């Protein structure tokens, strides 16, 4: 496993991160997967208070309690469950964040969170108030660092200018290159780490039947998957090639992958051990699709 420093933090994160939302087996199966992930060198585990109405944090807290000093534990905040249990509302307010962290700490069975992330965000949010809440939590020792999970350039720019965040989590794959338009270079220049999610595009780049995805047609998605296969050797897999495409960008600290089984884990973790894609492979992949022009996310 390879590691990289996450932005300007002191966190050395594994190039493959563990997206805990996908962990749906029983406790015994989950423990085997977590233990094997640690054996393979994965140290970054990412969850959110929204997942399973908080139960995912509870699950991960129990699985990692005895190994707390070996892992980088990340969770997210901002989606407030309604009292009647019927959905949730967006709440990036200071009062809510300072309150919500207590629930996450309790469910995760820890005294501190390594990376606390705002789970979304809009330009209409009280951004300075949100930042103040994170800074207070840092001073209190309840979190070590903070970041945001967002694909919106206008929001990301505001946090780059106004906060001391260390990371941005965003969707990024061969089929979703929005981060390349305005974000990756900006974040790299400001030494802010990027955590990639969706690297295999819901499985469309790893053997799943082609289907329309974002601005791409089914035929275009099939073409991308075909090119992925064409540069994948017999000793590797399409998912590994898709992940390597993401990791070749210098801004990326980790590809955070949803993992359900030991077989998936072994395949995904191995992607970090392959050499970087060559320039001609990257060119072949990027020319496989028409250049996307995204506007709705701005």
Rounded to whole angstroms, the Cα distance separating 120 from 91 reads: 10
CA distance 26 to 210: 31
Phi, psi of 148 (to 5 degrees): -130, 155
Neighbour tally for 141: CB within 10 Å: 9
Tell me the C-alpha distance between 248 and 266, whole Å: 20
* Cα 15-20-21 angle, rounded to 5 deg: 130
3-class secondary structure per residue, 255-281 = EEEECCCHHHHHHHHHHHHCCCCCHHH
In the three-class reduction of DSSP (H, G, I as helix; E, B as strand; rest coil), residue 114 is classed as strand
Q: Would you call 23 helix, strand, or coil by DSSP?
A: coil
> Is residue 293 flagged as an active site residue?
no
Catalytic residue among 51, 145, 213, 216: 51
CB 18 within 8 A of CB 42: yes
Instruction: Note whether 8 and 144 are within 8 A (CB).
Output: no
Please name the residue that has the structure tokens 């979703």.
176
Distance, in Å, from the CA atom of 101 to the CA atom of 64, rounded to the nearest integer, reads 18
Report, as residue numbers or ranges, the catalytic residues: 51
């Amino acid at each position: 496993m390879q590691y990289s420093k996450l932005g300007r933090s002191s966190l050395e994160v594994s190039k493959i991160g563990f997206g805990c939302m996908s962990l749906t087996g029983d406790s015994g199966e989950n423990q085997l997967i977590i233990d094997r992930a640690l054996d393979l060198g994965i140290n970054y585990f990412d969850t959110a208070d929204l997942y399973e109405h908080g139960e995912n944090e509870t699950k991960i807290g129990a699985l990692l309690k005895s190994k707390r000093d070996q892992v980088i534990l990340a969770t997210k905040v901002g989606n407030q469950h309604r009292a009647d249990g019927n959905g949730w509302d967006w709440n990036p307010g200071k009062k809510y964040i300072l309150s919500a962290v207590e629930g996450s700490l309790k469910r995760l069975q820890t005294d501190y969170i390594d990376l606390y992330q705002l789970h979304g965000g809009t330009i209409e949010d009280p951004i300075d108030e949100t930042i103040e809440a994170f800074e207070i939590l840092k001073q209190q020792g309840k979190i070590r660092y903070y970041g945001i999970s967002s694909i919106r350039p206008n929001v990301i720019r505001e946090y780059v200018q106004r906060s001391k965040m260390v990371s941005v989590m965003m969707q990024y794959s061969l089929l979703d290159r929005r981060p390349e338009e305005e974000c990756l270079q900006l974040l790299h220049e400001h030494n802010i780490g990027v955590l990639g999610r969706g690297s295999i595009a819901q499985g469309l780049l790893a053997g799943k039947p082609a289907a329309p995805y974002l601005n791409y047609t089914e035929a275009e998605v099939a073409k991308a998957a075909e090119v992925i296969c064409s540069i994948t050797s017999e000793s590797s897999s399409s998912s590994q090639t898709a992940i390597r495409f993401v990791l070749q960008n210098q801004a990326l600290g980790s590809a955070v992958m949803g993992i359900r089984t030991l077989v998936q884990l072994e395949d995904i973790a191995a992607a970090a051990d392959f050499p970087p894609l060559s320039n001609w492979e990257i060119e072949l992949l990027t020319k496989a699709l028409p250049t996307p022009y995204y506007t709705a996310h701005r």
